[in-house]
Amino acid sequence: MEGELGILPHHAPLLTILQPGELRIMKQGGDDAYMAVSGGFLEVMANRVVVLADTAERAEEIDEARAQEAMKRAQERVAHRAADMDMERALTSMHRAQARLKVARRRRHPPQAGGGG
Contacts of 115 (CB under 8 A, 6+ apart): none
pLDDT by residue for the chain (117 residues), tens only, comes to 677 888 988 899 999 999 899 999 988 887 888 999 998 999 999 889 999 999 999 999 999 999 899 889 888 888 887 777 788 888 888 889 999 999 998 877 666 655 554
Q: Where are the alpha helices (DSSP H) in the chain?
A: 64-79, 87-104
Domain ranges of the chain: 14-104
Pick the CATH number of 14-104 from 1.10.8, 2.60.15, 1.10.3470, 2.40.30: 2.60.15
| Angle formed at CA 78 by CA 65 and CA 96, multiple of 5 degrees | 45
The whole model's pTM is what?
Answer: 0.76
